[in-house]
Amino acid sequence: MSEEVKIKFVVPGPDEPGYLRRQRKAIDLVSKLDPKALTVQAMDEMVEFLCQFVTEPEEEKDKFEALLDLSQNDFTEMLRAVAGGGGEENPT
Protein backbone atom coordinates (compact mmCIF):
# COMPACT_ATOMS: atom_id res chain seq x y z
CA MET A 1 0.00 0.00 0.00
CA SER A 2 1.49 3.34 -1.02
CA GLU A 3 1.69 6.33 1.28
CA GLU A 4 -0.70 9.18 0.48
CA VAL A 5 1.19 12.33 -0.44
CA LYS A 6 -0.12 15.66 0.78
CA ILE A 7 -0.09 18.48 -1.71
CA LYS A 8 0.10 22.11 -0.68
CA PHE A 9 -1.23 24.27 -3.48
CA VAL A 10 -1.13 28.09 -3.49
CA VAL A 11 -3.18 29.97 -6.07
CA PRO A 12 -1.73 33.38 -6.87
CA GLY A 13 -4.16 36.23 -6.44
CA PRO A 14 -5.24 38.70 -9.09
CA ASP A 15 -2.86 41.36 -7.74
CA GLU A 16 0.25 39.23 -8.35
CA PRO A 17 2.31 39.83 -11.52
CA GLY A 18 1.47 37.62 -14.49
CA TYR A 19 -2.26 37.46 -13.74
CA LEU A 20 -3.40 37.65 -17.38
CA ARG A 21 -0.77 35.14 -18.52
CA ARG A 22 -1.96 32.65 -15.88
CA GLN A 23 -5.60 33.31 -16.74
CA ARG A 24 -5.04 32.78 -20.47
CA LYS A 25 -3.18 29.51 -19.88
CA ALA A 26 -5.63 28.22 -17.28
CA ILE A 27 -8.66 29.02 -19.43
CA ASP A 28 -7.02 27.32 -22.40
CA LEU A 29 -6.31 24.22 -20.32
CA VAL A 30 -9.79 24.11 -18.77
CA SER A 31 -11.22 24.11 -22.30
CA LYS A 32 -9.20 20.93 -22.98
CA LEU A 33 -10.95 19.02 -20.17
CA ASP A 34 -13.61 17.81 -22.60
CA PRO A 35 -13.19 14.00 -22.58
CA LYS A 36 -13.62 13.90 -26.37
CA ALA A 37 -10.69 16.28 -26.88
CA LEU A 38 -8.44 15.17 -24.00
CA THR A 39 -5.04 13.75 -24.91
CA VAL A 40 -2.09 12.52 -22.87
CA GLN A 41 -0.14 15.54 -24.09
CA ALA A 42 -2.89 17.91 -22.88
CA MET A 43 -3.03 16.15 -19.50
CA ASP A 44 0.74 16.45 -19.08
CA GLU A 45 0.54 20.12 -20.03
CA MET A 46 -2.11 20.67 -17.34
CA VAL A 47 -0.04 18.86 -14.70
CA GLU A 48 3.10 20.81 -15.63
CA PHE A 49 1.15 24.08 -15.44
CA LEU A 50 -0.20 23.22 -11.98
CA CYS A 51 3.25 22.19 -10.68
CA GLN A 52 4.27 25.84 -10.44
CA PHE A 53 1.59 26.42 -7.78
CA VAL A 54 2.49 23.39 -5.64
CA THR A 55 4.67 24.29 -2.65
CA GLU A 56 4.74 20.77 -1.17
CA PRO A 57 6.23 18.43 -2.17
CA GLU A 58 9.22 20.51 -3.23
CA GLU A 59 10.92 18.42 -5.94
CA GLU A 60 9.51 18.90 -9.45
CA LYS A 61 9.22 15.18 -10.16
CA ASP A 62 7.47 14.65 -6.80
CA LYS A 63 5.03 17.48 -7.58
CA PHE A 64 4.26 15.93 -10.98
CA GLU A 65 3.75 12.46 -9.50
CA ALA A 66 1.59 13.77 -6.65
CA LEU A 67 -0.64 15.65 -9.10
CA LEU A 68 -1.01 12.48 -11.21
CA ASP A 69 -2.42 10.74 -8.12
CA LEU A 70 -5.21 13.30 -7.57
CA SER A 71 -8.85 12.44 -8.06
CA GLN A 72 -10.57 13.92 -11.10
CA ASN A 73 -12.53 16.30 -8.88
CA ASP A 74 -9.43 17.54 -7.02
CA PHE A 75 -7.49 17.99 -10.26
CA THR A 76 -10.32 19.90 -11.95
CA GLU A 77 -10.87 22.02 -8.83
CA MET A 78 -7.18 23.01 -8.76
CA LEU A 79 -7.17 23.95 -12.43
CA ARG A 80 -10.36 25.97 -12.06
CA ALA A 81 -9.00 27.68 -8.94
CA VAL A 82 -6.13 29.04 -11.03
CA ALA A 83 -8.54 30.02 -13.82
CA GLY A 84 -10.60 31.88 -11.22
CA GLY A 85 -7.59 33.74 -9.81
CA GLY A 86 -8.11 32.48 -6.23
CA GLY A 87 -5.23 33.81 -4.09
CA GLU A 88 -5.50 31.20 -1.36
CA GLU A 89 -3.76 28.08 -0.14
CA ASN A 90 -5.49 24.74 -0.71
CA PRO A 91 -3.95 21.73 1.03
CA THR A 92 -5.10 18.57 -0.75
Domain layout of the chain by residue ranges: 17-91
89, pLDDT greater than 60: no
- The answer to whether residues 10 and 55 touch, using CB atoms and an 8 Å cutoff, is yes
Q: Give the pLDDT mean for 31-45.
A: 87
Q: Give the pLDDT mean for 29-54.
A: 89
Q: What is the pLDDT of residue 1?
A: 42
Question: Three-state DSSP class for 82?
Answer: helix
Q: Give the pLDDT mean for 16-34.
A: 88
φ, ψ at 69 (rounded to 5°): -85, 0
Q: What is the pLDDT of residue 4?
A: 73
68, pLDDT greater than 90: yes
